[in-house]
Amino acid sequence: MTAFQSLVNIINDNHDLIDFEYKDIKDLTVINGKLFSDIIKQVKLLQDRSINKKEFIKKAVRTAFELEDQDLVLIKKEQIVIKIIQNIKRDTTERRFNGYSEDELLKLYNEYFDKTTLETFIKNISYEVFKYLFIRKQVTNDFYEKNIYSIVQNYIAKALIDFEDKNAEFRKGFAGYIFRINFVEVFSHISDQILESISYRDEYLMNWIKYYNGQVIIKHNKRYEAPSIVNESGQKYNPSALFGTIAMWFKTRDKIILLKKRFKEVNKNLEKLKIDNLSPIEYKDELIQERQEIEKYIYETNEKIKDLLEKRRINKDEETLYDINDEIQELRLDIKEDKREIDDLNAHIANIDTISTKRLEEDKARIKKDIAREEKALKQNKKVYQSIQSALVKALTSKRKPI
């Protein structure tokens, strides 16, 4: 029996472990728990490293469930999701979402994304759209207004890599749904990228954004009013006047990033200097404390010797004198050994580099103070930046109006 057939059999023999109509959703099936673990274990046994394990699982699932090409198999972190697309009714007269039911799309959307993957997905899509429009193509405002929505939707569709080619119509509808649900987030990310590029004095975008000043445009003998950058309070921003504010915001943000990077480097260097998991200063303090304890013991031993010498002076018994002399000799040997240990400690203490540690600790304290100062400044300007950014989002999603 082949490894592929063995995997198909594992799925077919464990229908009791398969969650059909998952969450009471028709045509949605989920494999998780023990069966999912067994599938992963089986695939890990494959000897041929050239095999794409994810595709191998998908093919086995398709065979076991006798799926059509357009049906969807998603392999997530801890489960396999099967969506029967062939049974979804499609209204070809409805243009929105390519005719597919919003309820069906919502069910799949909730299974396809979790919070983290969704945020990453939208951020990546937005950046790819930004790169295409403003770095690679450097489009005109006219081209942007006419094509922005279709471009975003196409990029979302292309990013849905779990869909087969036969899913094209459903993929297009699903991409439209994802775009609508995350409309503001997409344009928020794009506007952030535009503002950041402007802060770095990108000449093309500095000129491009000047379009959004409510100017009158004459095209084909018709008059139009361009969108304006207007905040929620109705304050209209002059694009050119925004450059300084935007530059200051990103300069502060970038400074914080650099300071935090430096802070990590200082901590890393301090870790390298550690001895027995202690900083050199702490380690030196421990050695000094150990030396002080030995010195205290030497002092106390000398006091004992003094007492014994006094006893020896007044005592005449030979046997007692012998014992006293023997004890004095032992104590003097102890002192000699302790002094040798102090010499070793002093040599060790002298070789400990506390200067580097002190310098790094001072750097760390200064950087921490600088970060706090810059973060306070960023926080104070946050509302201003957010106001500009949300106003730009509104402008980016508006079109010129005929007048």
Mean pLDDT by 10 residues, the chain (403 residues): 84 87 82 88 82 88 84 84 69 57 81 87 97 97 96 93 72 90 97 96 95 89 92 87 92 96 95 87 91 94 91 82 88 93 90 88 96 96 94 95 88
Quick one: 1 and 20 in the same domain? yes
Would you give the DSSP letter of residue 15?
A: G
Quick one: 74 and 52 in the same domain? yes
Number of domains composing the chain: 3
Q: Which residue, 87, 113, 145, sits at the end of a domain?
A: 87
Residue 72, pLDDT score: 82
**Each residue of 146-165: pLDDT tens digit?**
999 999 999 999 998 777 66
Quick one: 345 and 374 in the same domain? no
Quick one: 340 and 377 in the same domain? no
Residue 92, pLDDT score: 47
**Does residue 362 lie in a domain region?**
no
Residue 194, pLDDT score: 97
Quick one: 249 and 377 in the same domain? yes
Q: Which residue, 65, 87, 109, sits at the end of a domain?
A: 87
Quick one: 77 and 222 in the same domain? no
Residue 186 contacts residue 373 (beta carbons within 8 Å):
no
For 3, 70, 134, 165, 328, the CA distances from 168, given in Å and listed in that order, are 31, 8, 28, 6, 99
Quick one: 260 and 388 in the same domain? yes
State how beta strands 236-237 and 401-402 pair.
unpaired
Residue 91, pLDDT score: 52
**Does residue 137 lie in a domain region?**
no
Quick one: 79 and 221 in the same domain? no
Residue 161 identity: I
How many Cα atoms occupy the beta-carbon half-sphere of 210 within 13 Å? 9
**Does residue 157 lie in a domain region?**
no
Residue 40, pLDDT score: 87
Q: CATH number of the domain that 4 lies in?
A: 3.30.1370
Tell if the pTM clears 0.85, that is, is over it: no
Three-state SS annotation for 307-345: HHHHHHHHCCCHHHHHHHHHHHHHHHHHHHHHHHHHHHH
Which range of residues forms the domain containing residue 61? 1-87
Quick one: 257 and 294 in the same domain? no
**Does residue 93 lie in a domain region?**
no
Instruction: Name the CA dihedral angle for 251, 252, 256, 261, rounded to a multiple of 10 degrees.
Output: 10
Quick one: 377 and 312 in the same domain? no
Rounded to whole angstroms, how far apart are CA atoms 152 and 135?
Answer: 15
**What tokens were used for 152?**
């975003």
Residue 93, pLDDT score: 43
Quick one: 236 and 375 in the same domain? yes
Report H helices in 200-314.
203-209, 239-273, 280-314
**What tokens were used for 270?**
């301090």
